[in-house]
Amino acid sequence: MTPTEIEKYYTHLKELVLDYTPKLAIALVLLIAGLWFTSFITKTAKKIMIKRNVEITLTTFLGNIIFWTLRIMLFITVISKLGVETSSFVAILGAAGIAVGLALQGSLSNFAGGILIILFKPFKVGDTIEVQGEQGRVEEIMIFSTKITTATNQVVYIPNGILSNGKIKNYSQHKTRRTDIDIVTSYSSDVREIKSKIEALIENHPLILKTPKSEVFINNFTDTAIHFSVRIWTQNGNHQQAKSDLLEQTKDLINL
């Protein structure tokens, strides 16, 4: 290179440095401040949601959405300060978002279902529910599916899209539960005596609640037997034991 060419090169380089140094400095300051700001906003949003008892799954998810949305906006702002054209970049991001949305329609349905479950809380972790022919304890509510463990210790994952649009039976939402028992006896039995003894058994059972009041009544007459209906109230976790005890204790009263 000739001395003239070298001089022109250094002159051009100097102009570039002088031109881009302020932009670079502004972009760097903006980047550092933006990184701190996005972290601060995300942490603040999470703290507010936790104070308002928002489901932890939703809190974490929304926190991540806020974090990455702000980071993408920060990235676009920083590169625009450096003189990079951002309109085409934004268009690419939009097209990519549409393509991903079309490819993941089923997953987006499950995602929306997960948000609805977390927001409206038809059940929570620890509840016993019956849904889609499966009954079990809710172990985890995830964004795309819900994990339940059945009474036989089988793990079932149910897509949240189905859960949010289907019928859910929640056995744990109320603290008490009514259990219906059918007791059958013959026509030769003393109906009043049997009813009185059943009521006495209910009155003395420690797991059966006094309020709401239990009921004992004749429900049906068939060709061969009289059917008693017994309705008892217990705490949620005691219904099966109370039913078993009552069936065992009324065995000697049945005369078929």
pLDDT digits (tens, 9 = 90+) for 99-138: 655 555 556 778 778 878 877 788 888 899 999 889 999 9
Distance CA 122, CA 117 (A): 6
Cβ–Cβ under 8 Å, residues 163 and 117: yes
What CATH topology corresponds to 123-170? SH3 type barrels. (2.30.30)
Does 19 have pLDDT greater than 60? Answer: yes
In the chain, where the domains are located: 3-103, 123-170, 176-253
Structurally, at CATH architecture level, domain 176-253 sits in 2-Layer Sandwich (3.30)
What per-residue confidence (pLDDT) applies to 256?
A: 46
Res 96 pLDDT > 70 = no
User: pLDDT: is 86 or 248 the higher one?
Assistant: 248
Q: Among the ranges 24-28, 155-159, 190-194, which has the highest mean pLDDT value?
A: 155-159
Instruction: Specify the pLDDT at position 214.
Output: 92
Give the mean pLDDT of 41-50: 86
Confidence at residue 166, expressed as pLDDT on a 0 to 100 scale? 84
Q: What is the pLDDT of residue 242?
A: 92
